[in-house]
Structure 1
Amino acid sequence: MISSRLYYASMMLFWVCYLSLLAMVVAYAPQGGISVAGLTLFNDSGLVETALVAMNAIGLSPVSQSVVFGLLGGSSAASAGLLLFSGLFYVFGEEREQREARPLAHGAIACTAAAAALTTLVFLAGGQTGALLALELGALGGLFLTVMSLTQSGIEPDAVSSEEGNALNQVIADHAANHAAFSAQLASLSRHGARP
């Protein structure tokens, strides 16, 4: 089961980085990038250029375009956050936390699906196809397959819980044995007392 945890941790880390970068591209590329420590990041708008063309073809105003890009970036960032917590719960948690990791991963899929649906709607309505659409659909497909593989894998039972369960079973068995012995002695005394 250690290998399944490591596999899930590596896959979730990959998707967290992917979705975080995608959110930053969608948020900063339409604005001409961002300057950090003398470096200009996400300056090339090639990934969002076709999206801008599609939105202009639809007739969206610059404010509406900013809202669409904000929704796309927010969905990707939310998905990355949910995946991060899901990975932490699954890798470092016990049985209960591992179970709680699954709804978080499914929530991440829902956020990615919403972003992919919005991107597809914009591109289809604008009569365009582009790299952003491919990235969103790739994220949705890959994340879906990764989370489904998590759903297929089993949950590790807690070592402490199984030991406590064994101890409880032993206490119940001892109690039942003592009760049976007491009942047998009582029945034997009753038979001896009933004899003339």
Structure 2
Amino acid sequence: MRTHTLESQSSLTPEMAITFLQEGNERFVNNLKANRNLLQQVNETAAGQFPFAAILSCIDSRTSAELIFDQGLGDIFSIRIAGNILNEDILGSMEYACKVAGSKLVVVLGHTNCGAIIGACNNVEIGNITTLLHKVNPAIALETQTTENRTGSNTPFVNRVTANNVHLTMARVRKESPILAEMERNGEIRIIGGVYDVETGKVDFYLQD
């Protein structure tokens, strides 16, 4: 499989980009890989890159976007931070990916058994981690179904907070980046979400918000 060129990237629609990720995750779950020559891709991307998607995911060692979506060098912009939280630098990175570099898709990707989400649910406060985990608090507050044991030991509670965190982040991208919001309104990009299951390798996509 060859890397994307300016021509191939330009011909993509956001829906086609979503399909690429869905098909890649299906390959991953079935322990299959697209046939790639990585050294050839190094050479092909030396002069430029034309990724089709920007993916915001967690730093968790199990959630490498390139692996779980079976993508190669030059295919995606991978933005990683604990809890897949959002800040202005990450928004700027997304804007660069789409407005400057031509990507067709923004993905906010959470995952099950996320240490950052669990830590936030447990009110962990350690150094600079405290400020980061506080960014998850709106997702915790939004989860009103659980009335008892609202802690990181309650897996269904944590899973609902994880999903809330993804949806709230998608909404914040649209609200806090007029550039990306306008591109989505114009059909130039899509902003979607998803949650990766660390037990199965499957991504549950959130295509509507």
TM-score exceeds 0.5: no
Q: Which has the higher helix share?
A: 1
Q: Which has the higher strand share?
A: 2
Give me the TM-score of the superposition, normalised by structure 2: 0.26
Give me the TM-score of the superposition, normalised by structure 1: 0.27
Q: Which has the larger radius of gyration?
A: 1
